[in-house]
């Protein structure tokens, strides 16, 4: 990414007959449309122009149910469904590509094999106990330094600048909730919920555990804690995008009762390349 570009830019644009909220995501060379109202044809033309202007190779839109076939008719592809995203109503992930390499998955069959292994697992919805000598707690602003260090250790590349403590602190001030697990005051595992209060949903994300502490159920523990926090805040839909090549993270969500609703091709730059992401979603409570 050129040094003169920001990681991303969130913008709201008002046209003659539409409003669209989008993110120019320069780190991942994509344009993400999070919300829109008005003329879908005009929106489609505008976002295509923006993507080409900024040399972004993927666009994806969280479409309302009544519009996804219009986007399909414009050449979009249905990659997944965010169940319950709009206060209990589904959002349809419609994708457009401007680059063949970005459109083509390198590991699709292997990811299918991993998914089938995950779907064969038994359900394990119960919350595990906190292991002895470990501490589970809600993160505070002053934890941003240790959180950024953890993410910097785990991920060679990541879709957002989580190795920057200033960025982590900003996400907290903007409403993202983090839970963490410590052992002897050392941060060993963390996860977050990025909350959308307008539509009462949250993305379960930023999942990381030091390699030496994996396999102990810490991520399930963190997910349960985050879900309880979300329910207390009257959030009704939780979803997550998990690396399709990661058996462990997909297993966590499946065993906790999340449903699989699609796979987003080369959606973001994570670890060391653009990776396909599995979409999982769960209803936390009724609207």
- Domain annotation covers residue 197: yes
Q: Where are the alpha helices (DSSP H) in 108-242?
A: 108-119, 144-154, 165-173, 218-232
Tell me: do 139 and 173 sit in the same domain.
yes
pLDDT tens by residue, 20-56 = 999 999 999 999 999 999 999 999 999 999 999 999 9
- pLDDT score of 14 more than 90: yes
- Domain annotation covers residue 154: yes
- pLDDT score of 156 more than 50: yes
Tell me: do 131 and 187 sit in the same domain.
yes
Tell me: do 15 and 55 sit in the same domain.
yes
pLDDT band at 285 (very low <50, low <70, confident <90, very high): confident
- pLDDT score of 2 more than 60: no
With b for 16 or more beta-carbon neighbours within 10 A and e for fewer, the 96-112 pattern comes to bbbeeebeebeeeeebe
- Domain annotation covers residue 3: no
Main-chain phi, psi angles of 198, to 5 degrees: -65, -45
Domain residue limits at 67: 8-103
- Domain annotation covers residue 1: no
CB-CB contact of 195 with 202 (8 Å): yes
- Domain annotation covers residue 2: no
Name the domain count of the chain.
2
Tell me: do 42 and 122 sit in the same domain.
no
- pLDDT recorded at residue 6: 81
- pLDDT recorded at residue 272: 82
Tell me: do 18 and 117 sit in the same domain.
no
Tell me: do 85 and 156 sit in the same domain.
no
Tell me: do 151 and 66 sit in the same domain.
no
Residue with tokens 């920057």: 164
CB-CB contact of 151 with 163 (8 Å): yes
CATH of the domain at 34: 3.40.630.30
pLDDT band at 286 (very low <50, low <70, confident <90, very high): low
Tell me: do 64 and 113 sit in the same domain.
no
């Amino acid at each position: 990414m050129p040094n003169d570009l920001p990681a991303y830019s969130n913008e709201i644009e008002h046209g003659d007959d539409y409003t669209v909220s989008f993110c120019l995501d320069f780190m991942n060379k994509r344009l993400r449309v999070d919300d829109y109202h008005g003329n879908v044809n005009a929106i489609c033309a505008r976002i295509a122009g923006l993507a080409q202007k900024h040399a972004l190779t993927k666009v994806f839109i969280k479409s309302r149910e009544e519009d996804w076939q219009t986007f399909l008719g414009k050449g979009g592809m249905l990659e997944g469904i965010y169940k319950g995203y709009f206060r209990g109503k589904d959002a349809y992930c419609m994708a457009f590509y401007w680059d063949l390499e970005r459109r083509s998955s390198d590991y699709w069959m292997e990811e299918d094999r991993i998914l089938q292994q995950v779907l064969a697992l038994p359900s394990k919805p119960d919350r595990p106990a906190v292991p002895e000598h470990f501490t589970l707690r809600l993160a505070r602003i002053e934890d941003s330094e240790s959180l950024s260090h953890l993410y910097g250790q785990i991920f060679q590349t990541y879709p957002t600048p989580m190795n920057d403590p200033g960025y982590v602190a900003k996400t907290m001030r903007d409403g993202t909730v983090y839970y963490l697990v410590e052992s002897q005051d050392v941060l060993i595992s963390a996860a977050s919920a990025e909350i959308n209060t307008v539509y009462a949903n949250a993305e379960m994300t930023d999942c990381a555990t030091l390699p030496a502490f994996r396999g102990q159920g810490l991520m399930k523990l963190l997910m349960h804690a985050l879900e309880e926090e979300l329910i207390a805040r009257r959030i009704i839909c939780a979803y997550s995008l998990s690396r399709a090549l990661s058996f462990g993270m997909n297993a966590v969500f499946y065993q906790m009762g999340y449903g699989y609703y699609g796979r987003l091709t080369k959606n973001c730059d994570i670890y060391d390349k653009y990776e396909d992401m599995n979409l999982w979603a769960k209803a936390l409570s009724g609207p």
